[in-house]
Structure 1
Amino acid sequence: MVRRLAWSLPPAVLLAAAFLYPLALVVRQSFQSDTGGTSLKPYTAVFASAAFRQALWTTVWLALAATACCLVLGFFLALVIAFVPFPGAKAVARFVDVFLSFPSFLITLALLFLYGSVGMANGLWTEATGEASGPFHFLTTPWGVLLAEVTYFTPFVMRPLLAAFSQLDTAQLEVAASLGARPARIVRRVILPEALPALAAGGGLVLVLALNEFGIVLFTGAKGVSTLPTLVYSKAILESDYPGACVVAVVNVLVSVGLYGLYRVVSRRAGA
């Protein structure tokens, strides 16, 4: 018993020092009012703000929409890479691993070069039509943020799916095909049940990352799109409202943990 405590104590201390203590400081600061002392005024002020309510709603729906789109698109792409023979399939699978190391702002900048106000698509349009500006301005809207998040986070779903598909016994697929099952039925009855744990893992990761994504929203230049992470930045850096920033940060953590827990419950009930 003593030996177990001796082995478990250092990791516990390290976890407390690296994570729990800073989090405790943020929580304590969220209860510090400008007049001094402990107060709920920072919470009441933030909760009464229309900007906070809008940021909360935007954060939640963007994260849920990005997770749903990544699950569908990631499953389809992983299915094609794993089971549809084409030249370069292995290279594409390796590129997915490399893609995971890319910073989110790099993908956003690539989209800006393509679809930004002075990007390639608008440039080709103005050259072809002679108009002063092109029609592609969606990157500065919530839909542009959603596109960037789906583009960046889809490989996080594909990676566990590709690993799961590599372990799938192909004899099951051959037997199902020999019995006359169509490809759609094979995917629904054979492949999808085996992929559910990987889908749950990838979807949970995407949900948490999307809820806390900052760089994509910032680099798209979507000024009308405010999420909880960008609101923390705005209050702390631009407004110097540190208690308010800590309140938003605490809410962001609670929303992330709550939605992730709900996602895990739904995944378990779905058999993932």
Structure 2
Amino acid sequence: MTAHPAPTADAPPAAHAPEPPADPVPGRAPRRLPVWVWAVPPVALLAAVFLYPLALVAAESVAAPGGGLTLAHHADVLGSESFRSALGTTVFVAVTSTAGCLVLGFLLALVVAFVPFPGSGATARFIDTYLSFPSFLITLALLFVYGTVGMANGMWTDLTGAESGPFRFLATPWGVILAEITYFTPFVMRPLLAAFGQLDTAQLEVASSLGARPLRVVREVILPEARPALVAGGALVLVLCLNEFAIVLFTGAKDVVTLPMLVYQAAILRSDYTTACVVATVNAALSVSLYLVYRAATARLSSDGGRRARA
């Protein structure tokens, strides 16, 4: 039997572990807020900041002068020659610019991803930085080169002694298309480079070892894998080109009237806010419709890609 020493007067009392607080209502789980309550603040903020101004624009486009609703404004604007001309110009510029961005972006992405050269990594990082540039900055740079008093016309007049140079295309639809291709091509390259980074290089090596030429490798191996990225980048660029305003304004193309320019002319130059709201509503409807088509196309391409991978 072992004897334990008796506690002295200087020894501190033994510490006792604190007891957990008793449940006031035994057997009842703590009350939790419903999940939908947490969605109320962000939805309310979104409605106040974004949806309410859009609702005001849509309401103004169908507001009758004496109160109530009417579609007479839409009928007048949609039936006017100026709107039809602006719609045709918008579609032509947007589709042509998107096609140019797809072709140029695909070729440049192939070079950056598969052609080894010094500085390829820096080039890819520059593309990410280029996406942050404002569109009017690129247009201003083109004006310095190809504008009426730009470098190209200045060199021409110095060499030939002519009073003016031949480069005047920036004030035409083709000048707007050139500026949009220059600015929006990196928006196609970025998803393509991401898709090329996930491509199994063994497929390229096998195709090359079997004697496939580079164009056939691109057509049968690289292009099918890059199709979802091409669709995503092309749809994004098409939406951006439909709504582009700064490039058209800074090129000084007075005869190139797109839907955003028509909104600007009606609201700012003529103070015709009803017409501006009608055109803005139609432009927004076109953009949303295109976005829905883009979502459906990317979902189908993703499912097709998953089926090919499982096969």
1:32 and 2:63 correspond: yes
Equivalent position of 1:194 in the other structure: 225
Distance 1:187 1:247 in 2: 45
1:221 is aligned to: 252
- Report if aligned partners of 1:126, 1:133 keep a CA contact under 8 Å in 2: yes
- CA gap of 1:263–1:57, structure 2 versus 1, over 3 A, is farther
Question: CA–CA distance in 1 between the matches of 2:94 and 2:291?
Answer: 11
Q: Which residue of 2 aligns with 1:243?
A: 274
CA deviation after TM superposition for structure 1 residue 13, in Å: 2.0
**CA distance change for structure 1 residues 143 and 133 in 2, over 3 Å: closer, same or farther?**
same
Q: Distance in 2 between matches of 1:261 and 1:61?
A: 21
What is the CA–CA distance in structure 1 between the aligned matches of 2:116 and 2:272, rounded to whole Å? 56
Aligned to 2:133: 102
User: CA 1:167/1:269 → structure 2, altered by over 3 Å: closer, same or farther?
Assistant: closer
Scaled by the length of structure 1, the TM-score of the pair is 0.94
- Report the equivalent of 2:88: 57
The offset of 1:59, in angstroms, is 0.8
d(CA) in 2 for partners of 1:186, 1:38: 59
Q: Which residue of 2 aligns with 1:146?
A: 177
Residue 92 of structure 1: how far off its partner (Å): 1.1
SS state at 2:34 partner: helix
CA deviation map 1:54-113 (0-9, x unaligned): 111111121111111111110110000100111211111111011000000000000000
Report the count of equivalent residues.
Answer: 272
Matched residue, 2:168: 137
CA shift, 1:222, in A, is 0.2
Are the aligned partners of 1:30 and 1:243 in contact in 2 as well (CA < 8 Å)?
A: yes
1:19: how far off? 2.1
Q: Which amino acid is 2:187 matched to?
A: F
Task: Measure how far apart 1:231 and its partner are.
Answer: 0.7
Whose RCO is larger (CA < 8 A, sep 6+)?
Answer: 1
Q: Which runs of 5+ in 2 are unaligned?
A: 1-31, 306-311
The equivalent of 1:72 in structure 2 is: 103
1:208 corresponding residue in structure 2 = 239
Q: What residue in structure 2 maps to residue 42 of structure 1?
A: 73
Range with greater deviation from structure 2 (156-165 or 254-263): 254-263
Aligned-pair CA distance for 1:260: 3.3
Contact 1:74 1:155 (8 Å CA) reproduced? yes
Aligned residue in 1 for 2:200 = 169
* Equivalent-residue separation in structure 1 for 2:66 and 2:140 (angstroms): 43
- Work out whether 1:122 is the aligned partner of 2:160: no
Q: In the superposition, relative to structure 1, how do residues 225 and 23 fare at CA in structure 2: closer, same or farther (>3 Å)?
A: same
| Greater helix share, structure number | 1
- CA–CA distance in structure 1, aligned partners of residues 197 and 161 of structure 2: 51
Q: Which amino acid aligns with 1:213?
A: E
The two structures have a TM-score, normalised by structure 2, of 0.83
SS class of match (1:225): coil
1:89 is matched with 120
Aligned AA (1:140): A
Give SS of 1:117's match.
coil
Of the two, which has the highest radius of gyration?
Answer: 2
Q: 1:142–1:100: structure 2 CA closer, same or farther, 3 Å change rule?
A: same
Runs of 5+ unmatched residues, structure 1: none
**3-state secondary structure, aligned to 1:46:** helix
Asked if the contact 1:78–1:161 (Cα under 8 Å) also holds between the matched residues in 2, the reply is yes
